[in-house]
Amino acid sequence: MNRKRLFAVLVIACTVWPGCLPEKRVVWSRDGSRAMVRAGGDRLILLDGPTLTPRDSGLPVLGMDWLPEANGTPRAVLLKRHDYTTWDSLKSNLTPDEVRKVAAAAKDLGDQFMTFQGPTDQFKLKDDSLLNDGVCADAALLCLRDTATPELKAKFGGKWGELAEPKAYTAEVTVIADVGKQANPGQVLDTFLVSGRVPVAADPTGRTLALLLPRPDQSLADAQPAYALAVCDLTRPKSLTVVDERVGMCVAWSGDGRQIAYFRYVGDPPKERKPDDASRLGHLTVRDISWTEADGKPVAQVGAPKQVGVLFNSLAGLQYTPDGNLVFAALPMTLPATTEDMPQRWTLFRWDPRFPATVSRVLDSETADWFAQPNQMWLFAMSPSGRRVLLAGDKDSRKLYVYDSRSGRRVIVEGVEWDEHGIQPTWRNEDQFCAVVAAGNESGSPGRRELVLFAIDSSGQVKAASCPSRDWPVEWTKNWLETESK
């Protein structure tokens, strides 16, 4: 949804939210024995033990991932969310640079409104507004409300009272040394101003965290959010470093944690965003990441970007395999093409760094034809060994495609949600994965969507094994698993 046009002038911040997309809400530990779930209201729920017993952490989070265990102790990195309702309380938790940017953006917003001569409900920010410089509009609105001049309040009129409850928030990068302890505060490494979800991925060694910082001004469409790629040293504080801009919604780490892969789109964002524009010309890029020290502080050493190729894709869907290959989703364009040939369907490709000039297809032609209704965001997930792959079907078809590359067996799971109420494909281990099913699905319950764990038996059949969310209270499921009528 495009929120560039302000409702009642200032109440709605200038942000494009990827609210129609499935998110990475469930993250399994590396041995599959436990999981973290970002439930409704950003509430962090821990699932542990043989029956995946749920426990409310009491923490709101914007992102999370598991780290390698230390002496058998489960470790994780969280992006804790901290909310602020006054400019003074927020300002004291920002860096001087963030304070300057937010204050300047708030002044710019106020100045534009004061000079606007038309009807107030037709006010629209200029394309070169400071709010389009990665500054969080929510924070600028909060600042403007608390520092507005009498003249601005008078021009705004009686609707000024509608600005009573704007809210901004920061993300706090925290390493939890023992996730099993209820009151473990963890080690805070960095804090930064943010707006929206922050996808994160820890490298397999647990040294570096990759963060995708929302860049609403660079988004290509409602279904095509854009981010800045940043990295953070998980062993020392104050190391957050932005590596690249105009990045898609997925990143992947190589097995040794030395290289990161991501999509970077080509060109500038379109002037007029299209709600359903889900593909874009982009570069599949890999970069080496390491750390050094200068003046006692960690410094990211970022290698030059290596472009694997130029491709049409949704800037989503890539993963390293255990043998070091990179699997990604892309559109196999063949030109010239007849009208009947377009649009062509996306499929999976494999890139072997030993042979950088070539790529090979993951799905054979018969399997590609079987995968008839792909999701517009091109989401997939390979099992830990790389043998099996989950392929997200179109959200209207509510299908999840499961393909076994060793046996060639293909199974379709019906009733899987692929909108904002769903989750990205998520493997627990080689034989189990989880998904969100629609209300009324036989694997869930009649009244709402449910998080279901599926198991693959020895014959390759897929069956529902359990429904971890069935007894969850409304506070955990609100605005996620609850149906619209609730």
Q: pLDDT of 227-264, one tens digit each?
A: 999 999 999 999 999 999 999 889 999 999 999 999 99
pLDDT at 42: 93
The C-alpha atoms of residue 133 and residue 410 are separated, in whole angstroms, by 46
pLDDT one-digit tens code per residue, 38-52 = 999 899 999 998 899
**Both tokens assigned to 66:** 């598991």
- Where helices occur in 163-266 by DSSP H, the ranges are none
What pLDDT was estimated at residue 341? 61
**Positions of the chain with pLDDT lower than 70, given as ranges:** 1-20, 127-135, 158-165, 182-184, 221-223, 269-279, 334-344, 484-486
**Per-residue model confidence (pLDDT) at position 160:** 66
> How many CB atoms are located within 10 Å of the residue 260 CB?
25
DSSP state of 423: B
64 vs 79: CA distance, rounded Å = 6
Fold of 367-486: Lipocalin (2.40.128)
| CA separation for the pair 161, 182 (Å, rounded) | 40
Helix (H) or strand (E) holding 291: strand 280-294
> Where does the chain hold its CATH 2.40.128 domain(s)?
367-486
Q: Provide the pLDDT for residue 229.
A: 96
Q: How many residues does the chain have?
A: 486
pLDDT attached to residue 343:
54
Q: Is the peptide bond before 336 cis (omega within 30 degrees of 0)?
A: yes
pLDDT at 134: 60
Per-residue confidence (pLDDT) for residue 9, from 0 to 100: 43
- AA identity, residue 379: L
Tell me what pLDDT residue 3 has: 33
pLDDT of residue 129: 66
